[in-house]
Structure 1
Amino acid sequence: MYLNCKTYFSYRYGTFSTEELVKEGVEAGATALALTNINNTADMWDFYEHCTSAGIKPLLGAEIRNGDELLYILIAKNNAGTLTINRFLTRHLQEAQPFPQRAVISPDAFVIYPLGSIDPIELKDHELIGVQPAEVTRLFSMHTASYPTKFVIRQPVTFKNKKGYNLHRILRAVDKNIILSKQTDEHRASPNETIFPPSYLLHAFKQYPQIVTNTLRIIDACSYQVDFREDKNKKVFTSSANDDRILLEKLALDGMRNRFGDHNKEAEERVRKELQIIDKLSFNAYFLITWDVIRYAQSRGFFYVGRGSGANSIVAYCLQITDVNPIDLDLYFERFLNPYRASPPDFDIDFSWQDRDEVIDYIFKRYGRDHVALLGMFSTFQYNAILRELAKVFGLPKDEVDAISANPDAILNEDQIQRYILFYGSMLQNFPNHLSIHPGGMLISEEPIYQYTALEMPPKGFATTQIDMFGAEKVGLYKLDILSQRGLGHIKEAIKLVRQNKNITIDIHDVERLKKDEKVAEQIRKADTIGCFYIESPAMRQLLKKLRCDDYITLVAASSIIRPGVAQSGMMRQYIYRFHHPNDFEYLHPKMKELLEETYGVMVYQEDVIKVAHHFAGLDMGEADVLRRAMSGKYRGRKEFERIRDKFFLNCKEFGYSDDLTKEVWRQIESFGGYSFSKAHSASFAVESYQSLFLKTYYPMEFMVAVINNFGGFYSTELYFHELKRTGAHVHAPCVNNSDELTDIHGNEVYIGFIHIKSLEKESVLHILEERSRHGKYAQLQDFIQRTDIGPEQLNILIRVGALRFTGKNKKELLWEANFLQKRVRKHASGSSSLFPAKPFQFKLPELHHTALEDALDEIELLGFPLCHVFDLVDADTSLYINAKQVPEHLGGQVDILCYYITEKPVRTIKGQLMYFGTFIDSNGDWVDTVHFPDKAIKQRLTGKGFYHIRGKVVEEFGVYSVEVEWIEKKGFKGI
């Protein structure tokens, strides 16, 4: 009966969640439902599972539309039908072609056309006509008896009731970007698209029993065989599963001898143990595919970091998928794989942002476009965006839209409208809004990927699934994460620059040597880590100092306890205290000491959740892993999670633990689990941090240029140029004769790249560089204008930023001459160098003065920062203030310090009040850290870049000093 049901995955149209649709069907007495979302099969498998659990027969399909025009409904007869529907959707969605008026599709799927859209005589065996109850009267004039098997009941289901209909109308207005009063019938569904009871439908068609019979026949004809427990990933890498086992064993043992030598019994025992479990769980192909991706990356000279739970594996270490030695770090093997685990381990492979797309392209070509896809995810409606969208739909003026967005409790001119906005906005919260792309997930399936999902083609140009990670895992597909990050770009670029600038080749993969380097250890102790991956933020630098970190193990711990969950639970401070006072605390319980002695009784890693849940609370390994996944947001089975939580407390009671003890252990699990890393994950990050640290320690100029050229890091470009100057580099403004698109280094001389000049067009830059490459450097202003034919606005930008200072003339002279020359020379310019260049014009100008302050102001406007010492510009006497190095001398006392703003971090207190942590530099370039408590933060806000006179009390925690701000005043620039 219900052959045309939609959920909210009919984006900006449907109003049911998948579970709510099935629940509504149960309450109405339906025995079967067909899911037919608009051009979409995103929640197909959730629907299938919910229906099966509820005792309703699921039918799987899609509603095909071109814009607002309904063409037909597709319903799969069987598994081959789901594949053909998904393939049909994919072909038209990826090619951005309109769907055909007649469905060209195999007989494994039924095609149901709206009444009146096609003559019954034209229908093929698998094609039908759907009739709505409201359309029954139209049948009187049709010869239905001549086509007894071709008509079926089609009751569309889009919303539950009047409120649902109103929400649907709002969604359609949002989609069309119109106000409700402009909406037409074509834009929206009919108000009767609800689940009527079966008795109502039977009564509506009482004069046409054959149509009822046809409908039931169609329902009976549909059947699917789906085993969610079966792994759907590519099953073999070679020609057979046995060959995979043999190849993986050979590669792992060869890699073990390379990593550990020929006589390491412990390593060999662990390798063989892992290989047995990998084979038993049928994950050989998964490891070999990951190894194959790494092998390709190595052949192309790409830098990468392998992390995720797979980094717990010694086999992964031996295959060079990761550089994390699980024996050295005592990594918890069961976090990687255990006999209870149904899904493969996570392999997160980070590549440089410049290399990632080529790796993805290789995977598509290596394993076939019918079997590979990027993983989709759903962008959802969230509170602030909802308020703005709904305010526009209801036609509120912009000032009222801004008011309701800033303060939803504000009293608007139309109180009733405000109530509508807030009411329907709450209904819309977390609705899917549109398909997005998972940050790195890829699927490689054994069967064609269309068996499980349709694919779309986002602007990035790689096929992307309509299902998300949870839908993929439900059906038995598990992702391989191919990620990108700027930190690897820093490393790759720095090594290239060192080779070019110093003719030195660096083996950055000799991580064991880097860990033992004393200069690198000193660099960590000083927290001199600006530009280094994951350890450059103010909070991380403070933590390194508090832990007196100078070794790999401590850095691994720091990478995890800096995460919000550990910090917010209060356990980060506990860890630091216990680190400094190892004999001055008590463990919660002897069992907790046994499990967490390495981390002083603090749960720091995801593995700790598994250990505590299994060994302390008696959960089996599978349940412990579900708990860990649920805490990290990677599990959607709420009922299963609640069952495990109840078992946790019940087991603890049976073990005789006090209620207070059990509650505290659970609190610690719950408070940090959602943000914690696996230990292997932290260890992988720490490896990359060491690589960055080594380059920064020994080749600081090249490293900082590499950071600048990769546009990645915690801080602004200004700070990285500040750090570059502190290394002794001579940083020059852009120059048309010496600069390239990116920043260059030659010896100690650095020329800022054209890319940093605001409003300078890329086309202009490329033309300047191409002309210079072909015909040599520019001789003077007239030569530059004649050869580049550059427009006046672009030329003025280059002059003001100092890019033509090689002429020996100041900016005012150049601007005056440029105005004349562009009118005179461009009449005869060919846009390139001529055989006999014109003799340059000579000008007699009055003396035009230009000051260093004017240069600095031009640089601030065009580059975002000045190239001079920034404190030369402050309108204040710097001698009246103490500097950062003097702060410890005033512990407990009040200080006045003049600072330049770098960044701030807002946080909420336990009471929900807003406070800030500030980061500044003083006139010597040294760091000043400030704390702005709520009472001061409200009255005296930081207002972004500039100079601040800060007065406050000096405080200290674990050897790290900061200033608790009592009063601030912003200082201006000289001459402004």
Structure 2
Amino acid sequence: MSIIKKKFVHLRNYTQYSLSKGALRIPEIINFCRNEENPAVAISDFNNLFGSMEFSLECLQSGIQPIIGCNVNLIDDKYESGNILLICKSNQGYLNLSKLISKSYLENSLSSLPFVSFKDLELYNKDIICLAGGKTGIMTKNYFSNTLVKSESLTQKFLKIFNSNFFTEIQRYSNEENSKSYEEFLLNESFKYKIPLIATNENYFLDKNFKNAHDVLLCISQQKYLENYDRESSSDDSYIKTNKEMYDLFSDFPEFCENTMLIAKKCSFVLEEQPVSLPKIGVNGFDQNEILKSKSSDALKIKINQSREIHLKKDIYLNRLEYELNTIVNMGFSSYFLIVSDFINWAKKNNIPVGPGRGSGAGSLVAWCLSITDLDPIKFGLLFERFLNPERVSMPDFDVDFCMEKRDEVIKYVQKKYGKLNVAQIITFGSFQPRAAIRDVGRVIQLPLQQIDEICKMIPFNPANPQTLSEYIESNSKIKNDMKNDPNINNLFNISLNLEGLLRHSSTHAAGIVISDRPLENILPLYKDPKSDFPVTQFSMKYVEKIGLIKFDFLGLKTLTVIQETCKKLYARSVKININEVSLTDTKTFELLRSGLTAGIFQLEGQGMRETLVK
């Protein structure tokens, strides 16, 4: 006789995207759900949706229903501030949550703390489920601040805003006697207002064995030592409990566990890959395809008339142009070429140095005709298929170099042209690398600095062929022996192995910009880097592209700045040089290159390139 397994849905999972707080990796959550036969699971990171796209796609691939949520900081003058868990029911719910999260960073942010207000919730609550309990929840905090009246008024306030989408949340932990009275309060509120009670658990890591490593992670974030009494620490219960453990915990009220399925059934939204979306360019009734063809053809005619060499191969150029235009139009990238051409030509008109073109984009004749590049691909034997190939569908990607000092002017132009909220930089994430993990863990557990330095020097650093800590340990008999004989070294490496690869901080992509045909907060949530006023996508480059946005590269190149300043100084001495007209066959230049004396010359200054030039 088969036993029907009781269903439970974990609604509070803090992944590694809860930077330096959560330590759950998305594949770990999915594998856990598979083993437990859980039909659904939620992501609920603190104040961000960084991992929601990745989470949704990975869940769908494994046949698990993803529930997109966020543990948001709520601030109001009348109450003790705390968190609320907001969950998307539908696409409208996702758009509202995206707007709330974006607003928390772009408008409401206090120092580095993003937050929402009750006014924000009143504006953007449609199809959002709200839970206000949990250890850091606003209901919990206000109750334990001896403000029972305020706790009850909070229930009324949330019911008024969210109606039947507000749920009371209950948690149970070992060694917490003072939670009994709070539980009674929640039971009374649930009965009084007929609100379903939901059982949840604060999940920061996968299993009990990770507890010590998680404490170290929190210490690294707080810049504390493990032995400090005033440090934040995690609970022994902060791991993902099995369905049986949750039902055993609530054996007197199993319906609280069953009610988690109510949340899953209310939610029908998933984040899926979307087709490419670009601003549509149209002038006087002509669409972007017609404009692209017209501009490219007109420019090529001028080039044919101005150059005898090109005129002699006119048919080759015209056939190549037709082929490229057909490919670009059929792949839907006409707007992309026109947008890039527009901001490059604006930069050139405003005396901002622009690179002549590099990478696979230099193989496009259309790009040359639109002044995106200054290189004739037919003359130099460059292939268009390396850039765009109908047999291998991939996003176009021009590497556009601008003068380092004036790059931001071009970005501001784009922002002004397409709309402030339609343009954003792209977020990136830094993770614990082997040496950094050893250093941080060693400091927190207070090993001697000299000993940590010696260990770090032994770990090879080769970005071209990186080695993991486990690979390093396996190949180093001395470290194996030290781990066996010294408990401190063993502890250092075991904790570092647990933290290695976890995300630890966010940053912005050095060059990537996305441009949309509508406000980006209607596609994905936005973030603000504390060091910049420029909006940043909350999805990394991989997932920005999956949601249908194209990356434009705005690279700041010091070489272009140096060239411009050099030309200015020469002009002051009555020496006029047009850098775009320098000879490409100058003998003295090639002699200099052959000598290997190329320090300071872009892409030729590395040791490998210098050695190749000499050979």
TM-score (norm 1): 0.52
Provide the C-alpha distance between the structure 2 equivalents of 1:407 and 1:69, rounded to a whole number of angstroms: 47
What residue in structure 2 maps to residue 79 of structure 1? 91
Q: Which amino acid aligns with 1:128?
A: F
Partner residue of 1:406 out of 448, 457, 464: 457
Q: Which residue of 2 aligns with 1:289?
A: 339
Shift of the 295–207 alpha-carbon distance from structure 1 to 2, 3 Å rule, reads same
Cα distance in 2 for partners of 1:227, 1:396 equals: 47
- 2:282 alignment counterpart: 238
- Aligned twin of 2:492: 421
Distance 2:128 2:103 in 1: 16
Shift of the 430–210 alpha-carbon distance from structure 1 to 2, 3 Å rule, reads closer
| Counterpart for residue 101 of structure 2 | 89
* 1:31 corresponds to: 39
Cα distance in 1 between the residues matched to 2:245 and 2:93: 30
Q: Which string of whole-angstrom CA distances, capped at 9 and with x for unpartnered residues, describes residues 431-466 of structure 1?
A: 111001212011112343222233122414322223
Q: 299, 321, 328: which one pairs with 2:372?
A: 321
Query: Which range moves more in the overlay, 21-30 or 515-524?
Result: 515-524
Task: Summarize the alignment of residues 805-820 of structure 1 with structure 2, pairs less than 5 Å apart.
Answer: none
The residue type equivalent to 1:177 in the other structure is: Q
1:845-924 mapped onto 2 (5 Å cutoff)? none
When residues 257 and 387 of structure 1 are mapped into structure 2, their CA distance, relative to the original with a 3 A threshold, is: same
Please point out which of 420, 426, 448 is paired with 2:519.
448
- Where does residue 363 of structure 1 map in the other structure? 414
The letter for the 2-side match of 1:33 is: V
The code of the aligned residue for 1:85 comes to L
RMSD, aligned α-carbons: 2.9
**CA distance in structure 1 between the partners assigned to 2:504 and 2:412 by the alignment:** 28
| Aligned mates of 1:345, 1:100 — CA distance in 2 | 38
SS at match of 1:322: coil
Q: Structure 1 residues 528 and 55 mapped into 2: Cα distance closer, same or farther (>3 Å)? A: closer
Look up the match of 1:351: 402
Correspondent of 1:174 among 203, 217, 220: 220
User: Which whole-Å deviations, capped at 9, do the CAs of 1:691-728 have from their partners, x for residues lacking one?
Assistant: xxxxxxxxxxxxxxxxxxxxxxxxxxxxxxxxxxxxxx
| 1:307 paired to 2:358 | yes
Specify whether residues 159 and 539 from structure 1 end up closer, same or farther in structure 2 by C-alpha distance, changes over 3 A only: closer
Q: Secondary structure at the match of 1:433?
A: strand
Distance 1:169 1:539 in 2: 44
Equivalent AA in structure 2 for residue 366 of structure 1: K
| Matching of residue 501 in structure 1 with residue 577 in structure 2 | no
Paired with 1:190 and 1:537, the residues of 2 have a C-alpha distance of: 50
Find the aligned partners of 2:555 and 2:505 in 1 and give their Cα distance: 22
Q: Which has the higher contact order (CA 8 A, sep 6+)?
A: 2
- Paired amino acid for 2:237: N
Q: CA deviation at 1:379?
A: 1.0
Q: CA deviation at 1:18?
A: 1.3
Residue by residue over 1:399-425, the C-alpha shift from the partner in whole angstroms, topping out at 9 and shown as x without a partner, is 333344334757599921211111111
Contact residue 442 and residue 479 of structure 1 kept, 8 A: yes
Pairing 1:686-705 to 2, within 5 Å after superposition: none
Distance in 2 between the 1:429 and 1:393 partners?
15
Check if 1:223 corresponds to 2:294: no
3-state SS of paired residue (1:149) = coil
Query: Once the 2 structures are TM-superposed, how far is the Cα of residue 278 of structure 1 from its aligned partner?
Result: 0.9
Closer, same or farther in 2 for the Cα pair 1:331/1:94, shift >3 Å?
A: same
Matched, 1:377 2:428: yes
SS of the residue corresponding to residue 44 of structure 2 reads: strand
The correspondence of residues 118-267 of structure 1 with structure 2, limited to 5 A, is: 118-119=151-152, 120-124=155-159, 125=163, 126-134=165-173, 138-141=182-185, 142-143=187-188, 144-183=190-229, 187-202=232-247, 204-205=249-250, 207-208=252-253, 211-212=256-257, 214-224=259-269, 226-231=271-276, 233-238=277-282, 243-261=287-305, 263=311, 264-267=314-317
Percent of aligned pairs sharing the same letter: 28
TM-superposed CA distance for 1:493, in Å, is: 0.9
User: Which residue of structure 2 aligns with residue 108 of structure 1?
Assistant: 127
Q: Deviation of residue 23 (structure 1)?
A: 1.2
How far apart are 1:350 and its partner, in Å?
Answer: 0.7
Counterpart position of 2:557: 485
What do residues 168-215 of structure 1 show as CA deviations (whole Å, max 9, x unaligned)? 11110111111112255x823322233323344345446546645643
Measure, in 1, the Cα distance between the counterparts of 2:87 and 2:284.
36
- TM-aligned CA distance change 1:343 to 1:365, over 3 Å: farther
Q: Residues 521 and 200 of structure 1: is their aligned pair in 2 closer, same or farther, counting only changes over 3 Å?
A: closer
Partner of 2:474: none
> Relative to 1, partners in 2 of residues 1:163 and 1:340: Cα closer, same or farther, differing over 3 Å?
farther
Question: Amino acid of the residue matched to residue 579 of structure 2?
Answer: I
Letter in 2 for 1:286: Y
Q: Does 1:533 align with 2:602?
A: yes
Aligned 8 A contact 1:308 1:347 in 2? yes
Task: Decide whether the 8 Å contact of 1:59 with 1:219 is kept in 2.
Answer: yes
CA displacement 1:661-715 (0-9 Å, x = unmatched): xxxxxxxxxxxxxxxxxxxxxxxxxxxxxxxxxxxxxxxxxxxxxxxxxxxxxxx
Query: Which string of whole-angstrom CA distances, capped at 9 and with x for unpartnered residues, describes residues 875-912 of structure 1?
Result: xxxxxxxxxxxxxxxxxxxxxxxxxxxxxxxxxxxxxx
Whether 1:298 and 2:348 are equivalent positions in the alignment is: yes
Distance in 2 separating the partners of 1:521 and 1:399:
49
**In the alignment, structure 1 residue 15 sits paired with structure 2 residue 36:** no
CA displacement at 1:259 relative to structure 2: 3.2
The verdict on how the C-alpha distance between 1:401 and 1:545 changes in structure 2, with shifts beyond 3 A counting, is closer
Amino acid of the structure 2 residue aligned with 1:111: C
Deviation at 1:351, TM superposition (A): 0.9
- The separation in 2 between residues aligned to 1:197 and 1:543, in whole angstroms, is 59
Q: Secondary structure at the match of 2:612?
A: helix
Q: Which residue number in structure 1 is paired with residue 585 of structure 2?
A: 516
Unaligned runs of 5+ in 1: 547-976
Query: Corresponding residue for 1:839?
Result: none
SS of match in other structure, 1:4: coil
Aligned amino acid, residue 485 of structure 1? L
Bigger-Rg structure (1/2) = 1
CA offsets, 1:266-289, max 9 Å, x none? 111111111111111110111111
Give 1:467's match in structure 2, choosing from 512, 520, 539.
539
Q: Distance in 2 between matches of 1:414 and 1:172?
A: 28
How many residues are treated as equivalent by the alignment?
A: 541
TM-score by length of 2: 0.81
**2:68 matched residue in structure 1:** 60
**In the alignment, which residue of structure 2 is the partner of 1:894?**
none
Could you tell me how far 1:297 is from its partner in structure 2? 0.5
Q: Does the 8 A contact of 1:375 with 1:437 survive in 2? A: yes
Q: Which residue of 1 aligns with 2:505?
A: 434
CA contact (8 A) 2:208 2:239 kept: no
Contact 2:524–2:537 (CA under 8 A) maintained in structure 1: no
Residues 73 and 111 in structure 1, CA contact (< 8 A), matched pair in contact too: yes
1:273 to 319, 323, 326: 323
Taking the aligned partners of 2:410 and 2:371, their CA distance within structure 1 comes to 17
User: Conserved in 2, the CA contact under 8 Å of 1:458 and 1:464?
Assistant: no
What SS is found at the alignment partner of 1:174?
Answer: helix
Pairing partner for 2:614 from 515, 536, 545:
545
Question: Do 1:286 and 1:344's aligned partners in 2 also have CA atoms closer than 8 Å?
Answer: no
Shift of 1:427: 1.9
After superposition, the Cα gap between the structure-2 partners of 1:182 and 1:239, relative to the gap in structure 1 and judged at 3 Å, is farther
The residue that corresponds to 2:176 in the other structure is none
Structure 2 counterpart of 1:301, which letter?
Answer: N
What's 1:858 paired with?
Answer: none
What's the CA shift for 1:46?
1.1
Find the aligned partners of 2:445 and 2:38 in 1 and give their Cα distance: 36
Residue 478 of structure 1 and its aligned partner are, at CA, apart by 2.5
Q: Conserved in 2, the CA contact under 8 Å of 1:456 and 1:466?
A: no
Task: Report the CA distance between 1:380 and its aligned residue.
Answer: 1.1
CA deviation after TM superposition for structure 1 residue 236, in Å? 1.0
Unmatched runs of 5 consecutive residues or more in structure 2 = 1-8, 141-150, 174-178, 460-477
